[in-house]
Amino acid sequence: MIRKCCMNRSDLGGWTRIVVEKPFGKDLQSAENLSAQIGELFDEPQIYRIDHYLGKELVQNMLVLRFANRFFLPLWNRDNIDNVQIVFREDFGTEGRGGYFDEYGIIRDIIQNHLLQVLCLVAMEKPVSLKPEHIRDEKVKVLQSVLPIKDEEVVLGQYEGYRDDPTVPDQSNTPTFATMVLRIHNERWEGVPFIMKAGKALNSRKAEIRVQFKDVPGDIFKCKRQGRNEFVIRLQPSEAIYMKLTVKQPGLEMSTIQSELDLSYRQRYQGVTIPEAYERLILDTIRGDQQHFVRRDELKAAWEIFTPLLHRIDNGEMKPIPYKPGSRGPAEADELLSNAGYVQTHGYIWIPPTL
């Protein structure tokens, strides 16, 4: 009906652009069916598959940080980076959206789209230019390099009380928490685990990218006990970019402590309004810029990664582990992180600067 009634038929140079909101299907087959149906009605340049995460200020900053700063270029590879975490945490449950959420679960709702898009920007090679197609070409290459997900590198959870929601089936197997390891089979990232973590009803609310570097060789300061260098991009709340690094503890002793180099947006850019993600993306639609939208082959590659795992969960072959609301999630998830090589820093807490 949109094509029939709203399509621009003017020969005066107008345009038609249609924004399609996620979820784009539930698995590879349904996504391909949806793409085929829409593709019969509209051409690919007219279709804007929107993922609001691509409109977030710090996500859009990712390409600039990686490709406009000399000191990241030689470090951004398997020789220096030990692991990458992409984390989404909420401190509340489904809250009235249980019916919708139970049909999709945390992997379809958050990981397969939002976090996977962030992974592409962290892992992609430098595009030929900033033209939308050049950027999207590189994102597709990353997705096509992801190896099949191993069951032993997945931990699923469901918070206690989730099934009490009247819109959720009593025997629901839907995960409200998932941690998994994705591995990229290419020259830059071979052997580096990309840890995707998302959950509801946890002990904090935040979304961030955490790039953890390898230990310093020949560590004369015995820094290992304090933790590794990390580059953290805080997407929400309190947008910030900070680097965890080891410095001399002030005083007479030659001892070390972890501190940070910090760019906190509220402090650095006072009086600057950061646009809402949808604001930015709708403006991009009007401008005809598809850089921050999902192309059809990109969507297909994303579903190819997750569909086998999702079907095993849907068939009851994998069960979520119960966890208490307000916790870090199942303890098995921390074990998976440790097994993947992530080293947690004890005693250091990043405190957002106050004005």
**Lookup result for tokens 């604001």:** 279
**Nearest to 348, CA basis, from 214, 230, 176:** 230
Residue whose entry in the numeric block shows the structure tokens 């085929």 = 36
Residue 105's SS3 state is helix
Q: Could you count the other beta carbons within 10 Å of the beta carbon of residue 65?
A: 16
In degrees, rounded to 5, the angle at the alpha carbon of residue 283 between the alpha carbons of residues 281 and 286 is 115
Cβ-in-10-Å burial (0-12, 13-18, 19+) of 153 comes to middle
**CA-CA distance, 314 to 325, in Å (whole number)?**
23
Indicate the length of the chain as a whole number.
355
**3-class SS of residue 189:** coil
Rounded to the nearest 5 percent, the helix, strand and coil shares of the chain are 35, 20, 40
The kind and range of the H/E element at 61 are helix 57-67
Q: Is cis: bond before 237, omega within 30 of 0?
A: yes
292 flagged as catalytic: no
Amino acid symbol at 252: L
Cα–Cα dist 213/73, whole Å: 14
Between CA 294 and CA 140 the distance in angstroms is: 10
On the 0-12 / 13-18 / 19+ scale of CB atoms within 10 A, 113 is buried
- Cα–Cα nearest to 182, from 27, 340, 342, 22: 340
Nearest to 233 by CA among 272, 268, 206, 270: 206
**Active-site option among 114, 185, 292, 311:** 114
Distance of alpha carbon 254 from alpha carbon 41, whole angstroms = 69
Q: Which residues are catalytic?
A: 114
